[in-house]
Chains A and B, each alone.
Chain A
Amino acid sequence: MAERTAVADPPTLATPPTATRSAVAVAEQELRDLWLSGRGVAMMLAFTVLMSVITYLVASNQELNFLEQREAVSLTLQVAVAVGGLLVVLVAADAVSGERERGTLESLLLTPSPRRSIIVGKGVAAVSLWLGAFALAVPYIWWIGRDVGTFGTAVAGGLLVGTLLALALTGVGLLVTTFSQSNGLSLALSFVVLLALYAPHQMPAEATRGWAGELVQRLDPFSAGLLYLERLIVNDHSLTQDAALLVVPALCAVVLPALALLAGGRLSLSPRGGS
């Protein structure tokens, strides 16, 4: 063993940390763990490869080159939002159940930091993946839409819709991970929820006719958000013209993380609680 010093009196840490301070500490650590370890960057690499393939096909393949330019911008943005949401869910669903399985949750729970601060910090790390994906999508959106003057609108609309959806999905992932018995279950459940939210957007036009189809489209935050983007970019609407479509995404962006925070107060070693 290397030469050791005496075990001297340490500085006294008499006061438990505030909720904000704890949340900042957790957020910094999670961000460092996600990005400096390479995990987040690897996800971004996969994302940029996908965006490059789509952009290349849209731009150069004559058979696919029928899309009007605004439609191409809309498509690219929708892909960015969808894949960004997927990455957010991937990280959020691992946040608590992953730590449980790796045995690192116990050390965290032994600290006096509020449980909710831990949830907030992990949520920040999950949302950072959306922001990273969006930042990487901007050059593609600029390049595809540079001749039709949609860039500014597309970026503003995409950031707005994508962030609302990312917050909602973070809430979903954190809720599921807090109560899941295993990490595998948490990931599977979160993906099922993501697919269920994305499915209505993929319905054929005929299915969206009638009150039921329209209601599903309006109530599903994904469908509503992507429809908003479509109208914004393809139909050249203003940012506020279809604001009604953003009511459900905004509600989900607030309610779902709030529920996750509420559940986070009961965070414990076992998914069923006990502390």
Chain B
Amino acid sequence: MRSLARLALACALPLALVTTPAARAAGTESAIVAGGVVVALDQHDLAAGPGEKITFASTVRNTGERPLDGYVAHLNILSPDKSVYVDPEDWSPRRTQFLDRLGPGASTTLHWDVRAVTSGAILLFVSVTSPAARTVSSSGPLNMTVGGHRVVNAGGVLPLVLWMPAGVLALLGATSVRRRRHR
């Protein structure tokens, strides 16, 4: 009986490795297995407008035989385009979540809220690490394209920024003239 179980496990492991890329290819989730922890996102590609708030979920599954205690999940946000500035703090104020105890085979779903601040190509992924930080498991990327970015058109700003104070200054001069006339 024991030898049969070992044989099944030996067959299942390559099967899991084979099936994971297939699941990725299916386009609904991505996952990278490491240290008995599997992290998967529920979306792979996303388009959003600037300022739009999006929500996605990540599933953390304990594929090991021991329960997982004190694990931490963290959301990473970056852009592969170096001309696009990304400050993760602006995108999501809550990027760290602490996992409850996860038994063998159990899974938990974490929800993440992100607001699209800057336009361009953005990558998001969730990583999970252990308390001792011995291993880091990571999901695949969520490719987000934020379009329709508008920056302020710099053309013609000088007349505005000069004439407004000048106009008020002229008014101030008028009050000064009035004061002198009444002296």
Say if the two chains contact directly (CB < 8 Å): yes
Question: With the chains together, A40 CA to B178 CA distance in Å?
Answer: 15
Closest to A66 in B: B85
- Compute the total of residue contacts between A and B using a CB distance below 8 Å: 93
Contact of B165 among A45, A66, A148 (CB under 8 A): A45
A259 at the interface (CB under 8 A from B): no
Contact of A236 among B51, B157, B175 (CB under 8 A): B51
Render B146-172 as a binary contact track against A, CB cut-off 8 A, 1 for contact. 000111111001101110110011011
Counting from the closest, the 8 A-B pairs by CB-CB distance are A205-B93, A52-B161, A38-B175, A59-B157, A69-B150, A48-B165, A59-B154, A45-B168
A42 at the interface (CB under 8 A from B): yes
Number of interface residues of A (CB under 8 A): 41
B30 at the interface (CB under 8 A from A): no
Instruction: Please state if B165 and A235 are interface contacts (CB–CB under 8 Å).
Output: no
Contact of B164 among A41, A52, A71 (CB under 8 A): A52
A32 to chain B, nearest CB (A): 11
Instruction: Please state if B161 and A44 are interface contacts (CB–CB under 8 Å).
Output: no
Question: With the chains together, A139 CA to B85 CA distance in Å?
Answer: 29
A90 to chain B, nearest CB (A): 17
Render B51-91 as a binary contact track against A, CB cut-off 8 A, 1 for contact. 10100000000000000000000000000000001000100
B46 to chain A, nearest CB (A): 18
The interface residues of chain A lying within 8 Å CB-to-CB of B171 are 41, 44
The interface residues of chain A lying within 8 Å CB-to-CB of B158 are 56
Instruction: Please state if A68 and B157 are interface contacts (CB–CB under 8 Å).
Output: no
Instruction: Please state if A65 and B50 are interface contacts (CB–CB under 8 Å).
Output: no
A140 to chain B, nearest CB (A): 7
The interface residues of chain A lying within 8 Å CB-to-CB of B153 are 59, 147
- With A42-B172, A68-B51 given, can you name 14 additional A-B contacts, CB distance below 8 Å? A41-B172, A45-B169, A45-B172, A58-B152, A66-B118, A66-B151, A67-B151, A68-B150, A69-B151, A136-B164, A139-B164, A206-B93, A234-B51, A235-B51
